[in-house]
Amino acid sequence: MLLQNSLIVLKDPQKKGLGIFPLPDPVREVALNNRQNGPEFVFVNPKTGKTWWDMRKAFARAKKAAGIDRPFRLHDLRHSFASNLVMNGTDLRTVQELLGHRNIKTTLRYSHLSQAYKKKAVDGLYRNGNGAASDSL
């Protein structure tokens, strides 16, 4: 995992290529401040000083440290990421590219809307006295 110009570059062994993703400025700042192993690597094992190669083990330790004892997989973060992007107004094509999906149907399976978001959407119909659309011309 490399950090260059506010982009994170990930090697994807399953797709045999690189994924290049933008980082929000606050995340970039944390990554730069925490970098311990030279200019290119972002996440390193503090005990060994070497790059993390098994994210599942690192995630399990992070879950334990955070006191999360319910079932929660590393993969669930992708669902949260997609859902939050959509609920913040990001178009599905952009979400598709950020997740690296070839098919938009896959992206749709990842983007879940919260009940609060749905309620806000429905409440928006009645804001400013709009109400439901009229059938008359």
Answer whether residue 19 shows pLDDT above 90: no
For the residues 43-60, what does the mean pLDDT come to?
75
32/117: higher pLDDT: 117
What pairing do the DSSP bridges indicate for beta strands 17-22 and 7-12?
A: antiparallel
Name the least confident of 17-21, 35-39, 44-48: 35-39
pLDDT in tens, 67-81: 999 999 988 999 999
pLDDT in tens, 76-127: 999 999 999 999 999 999 999 999 899 999 999 999 999 999 999 889 888 7
Non-local (6+) Cβ contacts of 108 within 8 A are 92
- Cβ atoms of 111 and 92 closer than 8 Å: yes
CA dihedral 62, 3, 87, 67 (to 10 degrees): 10
CB atoms within 10 A of CB 101: 18
Answer whether residue 137 shows pLDDT above 70: no
54/24: higher pLDDT: 24
Handedness of CA 62, 116, 92, 32 (dihedral sign): negative
**33 token code pair:** 């401040």
- Cβ atoms of 1 and 10 closer than 8 Å: yes
Interhelix angle for 92-99 vs 76-87, to 10°?
A: 160
Answer whether residue 33 shows pLDDT above 80: no
